[in-house]
Structure 1
C-alpha cells in the first residue's frame, strides 16, 4: 500500500507542467477534395479525436517528444506519420486520404511499438468484437475461431479455450486490460472467464511471444483490448440485446462513457443466460446450460506528461458440465455437476512522458476462484436452488491470486532505431479449500528482463530482441503421506534465455514479405508436476512428473501479402520445433475405473500455415469475396506419432456486400458463408478419427442514424442446414455428443 501511495504522490507532483503542444488541421478526400469524418489518433498516448463534418480537427495537451499519429476513416486507406513536438508547438496538418476498398487499418497494441498492421514486422491478426457480433457467435471463444489458424477446445457452447496453430492451455497466454489473465488455464473444462461486452477488439500473435510476455507464451498470445474511453468533452451510452434461438438464450449489456479534457470514465454491465443447446438431431445436451454476469469499469486521468488508467473487471459464471443427452429441459439453472467461477481483474497503468522518451508501468492483481459442485445421488431440482436451500459445500475449491508487474522504458530514438527495455514478473499463490485436491497449495514467482529494438527505413523494417527469465515454483505436500494419492512437496526453479529476429520488406508497392525467427519457453505447470488423482473434468486418473523440464521451442514464420485496388492475397507458413514437449499418455493401468495417464516429455514439431484471398473489384467496392484455408500438423519426433488435439484442415468462403450509407441507413451489410472442415485422420493413439462437415451461415444488418441516436439491427444464422456433426476438438466427442445445431441470432443496439 505504501508503494501505491508514493506512486500516487509522484503522479500528482508532475501534473503541474505547462507545456501545451497542439495539432490541428483538416482531413479531405483525394478523389473530390470533400471533407471526411475521420479518426485522428496517437497510439502511444492513447489520445485522439474525430474530425467534424467539415473535416476539421484539433488535439491539445500533447507532451514533448516524437510520436506516431494515425489518420483513418471507413472507405479510405489509413495513413500514419511521426511528428516531433517541443516548446509549445502548434502543428498544422492538411491530410488527404485516398479511397480504398480495404477495411480501415487499426493500430496493433499487443506488439511493443504500436504500429499499423502493414508497418508491423510481426504479423498479428486482429478482429473487432463488433465483427464478432455480425457473425452471431455465442461466446468470445467461439468468435475468435473465425481467425485463420485459431481454433477452440470446447465443452458444449459455454466452455471454450483457444488453440493457436495446434497449441493450447498453458501454451497460449491471455492478456486483458493489459495484464496477464491467470485463471488456472491448465484445465480444459472451463472457459476464458471474460465476457465480450466491454472488449473493443481481439489480437492474436500466432507463434512464440516469450520475448514480450515470458513463460506460457510459447504457442502465442490472445490479447483482449478493452473498450476505449469516450472522446474528450463528450458523454455516450448504449444498450445491447441479443437472442439465440438454439439455446433460448439472452445476452444483454449496457454501458456509459463520459470524458472531459483530463478525466475519463466508463462502466459496462452484462448478463448472459442460456438453456441446454440443441444438436442437429433435435436433442438437448443435458446440463450444457450456463449463466454469466460481467461488470467492467474504468477511469483515466491524462495530462501532457502523464496518463494514468485504472480498470476493474468482475466476472461470475455458473456453468453446467454436460455428460450425456438425458433430461430434456429449457431450464437455465445448471444441474449437478457444475462450476461456479469468479474472476476479479484490477489493472493500473501509468505512462510518464519525458522529452523524446517515456516510461510505462503496469500492475495487475487477479483473483480467480473456481468451485465445482457434485452430488452422488440424482437430484431433479436445479443445482443453484439446491445450494440455496441446503448450503452444499463445493467438492473442489481453488483460489488463485496473482500480482503482476510490467515496466518498460522507451528510450530516446537514435536515428531510425526505436528501443525498449523492461522487466516483468508475477507473484502467484494457489490455495485449496474443498474436499478434493486437483493441485496442491503453491507459490509461483516469475522475473524477466528484456530488450527489443525496431529499425525503420522506407521499405525495410527490422526488429530484434533478447530476454532472460527465472521461474520458481514451491508447493506444499497434500493428503496423508500414507495415502496412495499423497502429493509430496515440490521446490523447482526454471530459467530460459530467448531471442527473436524479424524482417519486413516491401518488395513492391503492393507486395510485402515478412520473415520472423523466435524462440519461446514454458515452465511445467502444477498439474503436470504434481497431479496424483482423478481429474473429474476429463475422467482420467492423472499422475504428474516432478522431474519435468522446460518446454523450449524455435519457430520460423514466413508470410507474403499482396494487395491492390482489386484484391488481397496472403500466404503464411510456419515450422515449430519443441524440445521436451509435455503430454499425457495412458500407461495401461486402471484405478477406480479410470484409465491412468502419465505426464511425459519428448521432442515434437508442428508445421503448417494459412492461405487467404479477398477480392473487392473496383469500382464495385461494395462487393467482397473472401476465402481462407488453414492447416496444421503435429507429431512427436521420436516415432512420428501424432500429437493430440490438432485441429482439422478448414476452408472458409464468404460473400459479403457492404454499403457505407444510404440516406439515414449506414453500415449496411449482408453475408453468406460456408465453412468446410475436413476429416481429421491424423489423430493421436488415444484419439479417434473425426468425419468432415460443412456449415452454412448468413447474416444481414445496418444502422439507422437519427442524429443523436443510432439504432443497429442485425440478424444472423449459423449451421443453417441443422447439420449433425462433431468437432475434433470437442471434449464431448468421446461420449458421441454432437455440436450445436441451427442457431438464429437477433441483435439490437441503441447508441446515444
Structure 2
C-alpha cells in the first residue's frame, strides 16, 4: 500500500511537460565525480543532489535568467548564472576543496545572494548546529550567536535581543511572513519551536527598507525545513532528554517528494518540569508543555511555483511568582499560568515571466493568549488576528543592474474577552512601498534603496475615566521615509570589506500609547502617552573579514543613533501604593560590535579553535544607561573531528568556555551583575549498526554546576539564579 501511494504521488507530480532542462556533472580537480552534492536554483525553489557518477538534472524550467548553486561540505560553494533559452542546457562544474564553512544563499535580504556576494553581513546558522549545543529552546540556541542575547523568565520564556534592542524593535519572520504575537509583553516568548525549522538568518541593524516598521533593531528570519529531494520519501524521528528539567522533546516528521509536487509534515511535543539551580533547589512553576505541528505542500512548473505552509503551536507554561518554594517533579503548570495558541498560515507564490518574476507572500497569524490566576477561568484573554502581504516584482536585468519594486501591508485586530485588559481593543493597518537596486562588477557590489510607510492605529474606549484600566480611544497615524546604501568589495583576494548605512523606524505600540494600570511582575503603575512619535534611527555598520586556508578573522562594528527612543520613567507620584511610571522619549545611542577568529592548523586538519567577543553600550542623550543591555561576552571553543570508521562517521567533540563580563552599566531601574564563566562539552556523530543508522548527540552544559545570574533574567530582581548543570542526550533516526 505504501509503495502504491508513493508511486501515485510521484506520478501525479510529473504531469506537466518537461520542456526546458539543465543537466551536468560535478567533479573534483582530479576529474573524479562527486556524489551527494547539493545543487539548487534558489529563484525557482528547486533542489536536487548529484548521483554516484556526479550527474544531476533539472527539468520543467521556465525561460529566463537564473543562478545555480553547488554546495558540499569540504568544497568551496560555487554559484553560476545561466539563461534558459533552449530545451537543454549543460552546466558541468569542478569543485575545489576548502576548509571553510559552506557559503550559504541568504534568503532574508533583497536579492538572495550567496553570503560572499551579499552587501550586508548576515549571520546564518542551521538549527541542527544550534541543537548540537544542547540548548533546550530555540531562543537559547539563538543566544549563542555573537550579537544575539535573550531576556529570559526561567527556561520557558525567552525574548530575542539584537545588539541591545528587543521587544517590538526586533522583527521575526517565519514561513516567509511576519510574525505577530503580542511581542510587546515581557512574559511573551518567541512563539516558535525549532522542530521543522531548517535555519535562521540574523540581520543586525535597521532593516526597515525590506520589512517596514519594527525592524529598527534587526530581523530574525527562520527558514522552514526543506522538502525532500525529488522522487524520495523519508520518515524522521528525533528524541531528546534533558536532565535538569527531567524534560523530553519528541519529534516525528515525514517527507514525500516528486519532481514538481512535494509534501512534508512534522509534529513535536516538549514537556519540562521546574528547572534546578546549582544547589539542587527547583524554581517553582517554571515548568511548561508545548505541542507543535507543521505541514507544507509545494508545487512548481515552468510557469509558477507555490508553497502552502501551516503551523499550530500550543504552549502551556507556569508563571513563577513564589521563587524557590514547593518542590515538585510535576510537569503540569500551576496557577498562575499562561496558555498561548498560535497558528500561522502562509502562501508563498512565484510567477515567472520571460526575463522577470513576481513574488507574492500572503500570511495569516492567529494568536490567542490567556492568563489564569487561580482557576481555569482566564482573567486575561487577548485574540490577535493579523493578515499581511508582501509583493515584490523583480525587474528584467539591465546589464549588471538588478532591481526590485514592492509593496507590503498588514491588517491587524486585537480583541479582549477577559476581566482584565493590558491593552484595548484596537485595529492596526500598515502600508508600504519600496524600491531597491543592486549593481555588481568583478567582486564589488553597491546596493541602494528607498521606502515609504504609513501606519494607522485606532482603538476603542474602555472603562471609566480616572479609574485603573481606563483606555481613551485613539486614532493615530505614523509615517516614515527610510533609505539604505551598502558597499561590498574584496580589498585583496582573501579580504572582504562591507560598509552599510541605513535608517529605520518603529511606531509606538499599544502598550506605550494607552497603558493605564499596574504592570504585573514589576509592581509599578504604568501610564501610556498617546502623543508619542516614531522612533527613528540611523545606523552605520562596518564588517571586515579575512580568510586563508587555515585562519579566519572577522570584525564587526556599529554605531546606532535613535531619535525619540521610548522608555518609562517615574514621575514621583503613587497610586494605591505603587510608584507611577510614564512613557517618555529621548534620543539615544548604541555602539559596539563583534570580533572573532577561526584557527584550523595544518596538518592538524581535525582541530578547530574558535573565539569571539561581543560588546554593546547603550546611552540616553543625558548620559544615563539604557535598560536591558547585555553584558559583554567572550566565547571560546575547541572542536575536534574524528576520522570516519565503519561504525562511526562525522564524529566530533567540542569544549566551550563562555565568559560573561560584569555588567557595570545598569539603567536607573537595574542593578549591577557579577561576571561568570560557564564550561560546556559536547560529543556526537553518526552511528551505523548493520542496516540501522542514527545520529547521536550528548551535551553537558554548565558542567561545573556554576551558580550565576544573567543580567537579562527577569528573575534577577528576586535573586533567583539561572539553570544549573544540564545534560542533554539526543538521538535522530532517518528511516
Normalised to the residue count of structure 2, the TM-score between the two structures is: 0.96
In the TM superposition, residue 17 of structure 1 has moved relative to its aligned partner by 7.7
Asked if 1 retains the 8 angstrom alpha-carbon contact of 2:34 and 2:50, the reply is: no
Corresponding position of 1:721: 704
Is 1:514 aligned to residue 498 of structure 2? Answer: yes
Judged with a 3 Å threshold, the aligned counterparts in structure 2 of structure 1 residues 63 and 506 are, in CA distance, closer, same or farther, namely: same
Asked if 2 retains the 8 angstrom alpha-carbon contact of 1:168 and 1:219, the reply is: yes
User: What CA deviation, in whole Å up to 9, does each residue of 1:353-410 have, x standing for no partner?
Assistant: 11110000100000001100002xxxxxxxxxxx5xxxx3101100000000000000
Corresponding position of 1:283: 281
Q: Runs of at least 4 residues of structure 1 off by over 6 A?
A: none
Match of 1:631 among 612, 615, 629: 615
Instruction: Give secondary structure in 1 for the equivalent of 2:113.
Output: coil
Asked if 2 retains the 8 angstrom alpha-carbon contact of 1:311 and 1:348, the reply is: yes
User: What CA deviation, in whole Å up to 9, does each residue of 1:517-546 have, x standing for no partner?
Assistant: 000000000000000011224333211000
Asked if 2 retains the 8 angstrom alpha-carbon contact of 1:709 and 1:751, the reply is: no
Asked if 2 retains the 8 angstrom alpha-carbon contact of 1:368 and 1:401, the reply is: yes
Alignment of 1:571-650 (within 5 A): 571-637=555-621, 639-650=622-633
Is 1:699 aligned to residue 699 of structure 2? Answer: no
In the TM superposition, residue 666 of structure 1 has moved relative to its aligned partner by 2.2
Asked if 2 retains the 8 angstrom alpha-carbon contact of 1:657 and 1:669, the reply is: yes
In the TM superposition, residue 587 of structure 1 has moved relative to its aligned partner by 2.2
Asked if 2 retains the 8 angstrom alpha-carbon contact of 1:411 and 1:420, the reply is: yes
User: What CA deviation, in whole Å up to 9, does each residue of 1:441-492 have, x standing for no partner?
Assistant: 0000000000011111112011110000000000001112352542100000
In 2, the alpha carbon distance for the partners of 1:130 and 1:143 equals: 10
Alignment of 1:367-386 (within 5 A): 367-375=366-374
In the TM superposition, residue 24 of structure 1 has moved relative to its aligned partner by 1.3
Is 1:271 aligned to residue 269 of structure 2? Answer: yes
Corresponding position of 1:550: 534
Match of 1:99 among 93, 97, 100: 97
Is 1:412 aligned to residue 396 of structure 2? Answer: yes
Is 1:349 aligned to residue 332 of structure 2? Answer: no
In the TM superposition, residue 705 of structure 1 has moved relative to its aligned partner by 4.5
User: What CA deviation, in whole Å up to 9, does each residue of 1:564-598 have, x standing for no partner?
Assistant: 10110000000000000001122233333433221
Asked if 1 retains the 8 angstrom alpha-carbon contact of 2:551 and 2:597, the reply is: yes
In 2, the alpha carbon distance for the partners of 1:396 and 1:328 equals: 28
Is 1:222 aligned to residue 220 of structure 2? Answer: yes
Alignment of 1:162-241 (within 5 A): 162-241=160-239
Is 1:424 aligned to residue 422 of structure 2? Answer: no
Asked if 1 retains the 8 angstrom alpha-carbon contact of 2:486 and 2:501, the reply is: yes
User: What CA deviation, in whole Å up to 9, does each residue of 1:249-305 have, x standing for no partner?
Assistant: 000010000011221101000000100000112110000001100000010111121
In 1, the alpha carbon distance for the partners of 2:85 and 2:108 equals: 28
In 2, the alpha carbon distance for the partners of 1:405 and 1:540 equals: 38
Alignment of 1:42-53 (within 5 A): 42-53=41-52
User: What CA deviation, in whole Å up to 9, does each residue of 1:210-242 have, x standing for no partner?
Assistant: 000000000000111101011111101100000
In 2, the alpha carbon distance for the partners of 1:217 and 1:43 equals: 25
In the TM superposition, residue 193 of structure 1 has moved relative to its aligned partner by 1.1
Structure 1 stretches of 5 or more lacking a match? 1-14, 376-386
User: What CA deviation, in whole Å up to 9, does each residue of 1:306-346 have, x standing for no partner?
Assistant: 11100000000001111211111110001111100000000
Is 1:63 aligned to residue 62 of structure 2? Answer: yes
In 2, the alpha carbon distance for the partners of 1:560 and 1:456 equals: 19
In 2, the alpha carbon distance for the partners of 1:176 and 1:231 equals: 22
Structure 2 stretches of 5 or more lacking a match? 1-13
Instruction: Give secondary structure in 1 for the equivalent of 2:219.
Output: strand
Corresponding position of 2:3: none
Asked if 2 retains the 8 angstrom alpha-carbon contact of 1:39 and 1:73, the reply is: yes
Corresponding position of 2:435: 451
Corresponding position of 1:6: none
Judged with a 3 Å threshold, the aligned counterparts in structure 2 of structure 1 residues 751 and 19 are, in CA distance, closer, same or farther, namely: closer
Asked if 1 retains the 8 angstrom alpha-carbon contact of 2:209 and 2:482, the reply is: yes
In 2, the alpha carbon distance for the partners of 1:532 and 1:302 equals: 51
In 2, the alpha carbon distance for the partners of 1:37 and 1:298 equals: 24
User: What CA deviation, in whole Å up to 9, does each residue of 1:82-134 have, x standing for no partner?
Assistant: 1111132x122221111111122221110121111111101100111101111
What is the count of residue pairs matched by the alignment?
Answer: 721
Instruction: Give secondary structure in 2 for the equivalent of 1:170.
Output: helix
In 2, the alpha carbon distance for the partners of 1:594 and 1:746 equals: 46
In 2, the alpha carbon distance for the partners of 1:456 and 1:621 equals: 35
In 2, the alpha carbon distance for the partners of 1:225 and 1:17 equals: 28
Instruction: Give secondary structure in 1 for the equivalent of 2:91.
Output: strand
Instruction: Give secondary structure in 1 for the equivalent of 2:130.
Output: helix
Corresponding position of 1:7: none
RMSD: 1.4
In 1, the alpha carbon distance for the partners of 2:130 and 2:101 equals: 15
In the TM superposition, residue 411 of structure 1 has moved relative to its aligned partner by 0.5
In 2, the alpha carbon distance for the partners of 1:554 and 1:17 equals: 49
Corresponding position of 2:149: 151
Match of 2:257 among 256, 259, 264: 259
Corresponding position of 1:399: 383
In 1, the alpha carbon distance for the partners of 2:196 and 2:566 equals: 35
Corresponding position of 1:668: 651
Which stretch shifts more, 74-83 or 24-33? 24-33
Asked if 1 retains the 8 angstrom alpha-carbon contact of 2:687 and 2:693, the reply is: yes
Asked if 2 retains the 8 angstrom alpha-carbon contact of 1:568 and 1:613, the reply is: yes
In the TM superposition, residue 54 of structure 1 has moved relative to its aligned partner by 2.1
Corresponding position of 1:524: 508
Instruction: Give secondary structure in 2 for the equivalent of 1:602.
Output: strand
User: What CA deviation, in whole Å up to 9, does each residue of 1:43-97 have, x standing for no partner?
Assistant: 1111010111221111111211111111010111111111111132x12222111
Corresponding position of 2:640: 657
Normalised to the residue count of structure 1, the TM-score between the two structures is: 0.94
